[in-house]
C-alpha cells in the first residue's frame, strides 16, 4: 500500500464515519435505524472489498464497481415508510447539504492520475467536479439555513449539478475500466485502481449515499415550496 493509498483509506473511512454520525445524530430518536442501515451497508461493502471481490485479478472484475449503483435500490428503503425512511425525511436541508463537503477529497483522484495510476478522463473530471461541489457545500448549507430570496432555485441547480457530477464520474469509471464491455477510453491502466481496497468504497458506498442525500435535498426543497404558500 502506497502513501496515497493510506491517505485514501483514511479519507474514505473518515468521510463514511462522518456521514453516518451526522445523519444519525440529526435523525434523533430514529438514529439507531439510520446508523444500522448505513453502518451495516458500509461494513459489508468494506469486508467484500478487503476480500478482493471487486478486483479484476481475484474477484468479479473492475467493471463490477458500476454495480455500486445497485446499492441505490437499498438506499431507496431510506425513503420508504420505515423508521429509517422517516428518519431521513426528518433531516434538515442544511445538514443534507453540508455533508456534501466531504467531496473535497476528490482531489485524490487527480493525484492518482498525476502518479500514473489512473488514466483517461476520469481523474480530472471526477476529481475537480467533486472538489467544486465539496468546496461550495458550506455556502449552499448557509443558504439553506438562512433562506434568502432566490436561494431555493440556486439550491436546486446546485443539487442537480452535484447529481450530474456523480453520474458522470460513475459513467467515466466504467467506460475506462479494463475488461469493461462498454470500455471507451482504452489507455492503461484505466480505472482499475478503483476496484481495490479502499478506493472501491467510493463507488460502492460513498457515491450511492451522496446521491441519496441529493435526492433527499430535492424532496426537502419541494416540501418547502409546498409549505410556503400555506404559511403565507
- The pLDDT tens digits of the residues spanning 156-171 come to 999 999 999 998 998 8
Check residue 187 and give its pLDDT: 86
Model confidence band, residue 31 (pLDDT cutoffs 50, 70, 90): confident
CA distance 190 to 61: 13
Cα 79 from Cα 227, distance rounded (Å): 20
pTM, full prediction: 0.87
Among residues 37, 29, 9, 32, the alpha carbon closest in space to that of 212 is found at 37
Using a CB cutoff of 8 Å and minimum separation of 24, what contacts does 55-59 make?
55/195, 55/196, 56/178, 56/179, 56/192, 56/195, 59/195
The angle formed by the CA atoms of residues 37, 43 and 49, to the nearest 5 degrees, is 135
DSSP state of 147: -
Average pLDDT over residues 32-47: 82
Read off the pLDDT band of 46 (50, 70, 90). Answer: confident
**Which cell is 196 given?**
481495490
pLDDT at res. 160 = 97
Question: For residue 200, which of 93, 26, 74, 52 has the smallest C-alpha distance?
Answer: 52
Q: Which residues are within 8 A (CB) of 143 and not within 5 positions of it... i.e. 6 or more apart? A: 151, 154, 155
How far does Cα 231 stand from its chain's mean position? 34
The average pLDDT across 79-108 equals 85
C-alpha grid cell, residue 220: 426537502
pLDDT category of residue 230 using cuts at 50, 70 and 90: very low
Neighbour tally for 194: CB within 10 Å = 27
What's the pLDDT at 173?
Answer: 87
Q: What range does the domain containing 198 cover? A: 3-231
Amino acid at each position: 500500500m502506497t502513501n496515497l493509498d493510506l491517505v485514501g483509506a483514511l479519507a474514505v473511512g473518515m468521510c463514511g464515519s462522518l456521514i453516518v454520525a451526522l445523519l444519525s445524530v440529526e435523525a434523533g430518536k430514529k438514529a439507531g435505524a439510520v446508523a444500522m442501515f448505513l453502518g451495516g451497508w458500509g461494513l459489508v461493502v468494506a469486508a467484500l472489498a478487503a476480500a478482493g471481490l471487486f478486483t479484476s485479478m481475484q474477484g468479479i472484475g473492475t467493471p463490477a464497481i458500476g454495480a455500486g449503483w445497485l446499492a441505490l435500490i437499498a438506499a431507496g428503503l431510506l425513503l420508504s415508510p420505515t423508521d429509517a425512511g422517516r428518519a431521513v425525511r426528518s433531516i434538515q436541508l442544511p445538514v443534507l447539504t453540508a455533508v456534501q463537503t466531504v467531496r473535497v477529497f476528490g482531489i485524490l483522484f487527480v493525484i492518482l492520475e498525476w502518479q500514473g495510476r489512473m488514466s483517461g478522463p476520469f481523474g480530472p473530471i471526477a476529481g475537480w467536479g467533486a472538489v467544486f461541489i465539496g468546496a461550495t457545500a458550506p455556502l449552499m448549507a448557509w443558504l439553506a439555513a438562512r433562506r434568502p430570496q432566490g436561494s431555493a432555485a440556486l439550491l436546486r441547480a446546485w443539487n442537480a449539478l452535484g447529481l450530474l457530477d456523480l453520474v458522470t464520474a460513475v459513467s467515466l469509471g466504467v467506460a475506462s475500466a479494463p475488461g469493461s464491455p462498454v470500455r471507451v477510453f482504452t489507455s492503461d491502466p484505466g480505472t482499475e485502481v478503483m476496484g481495490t481496497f479502499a478506493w472501491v468504497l467510493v463507488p460502492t458506498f460513498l457515491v450511492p449515499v451522496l446521491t441519496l442525500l441529493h435526492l433527499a435535498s430535492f424532496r426537502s426543497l419541494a416540501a418547502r415550496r409546498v409549505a410556503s404558500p400555506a404559511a403565507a
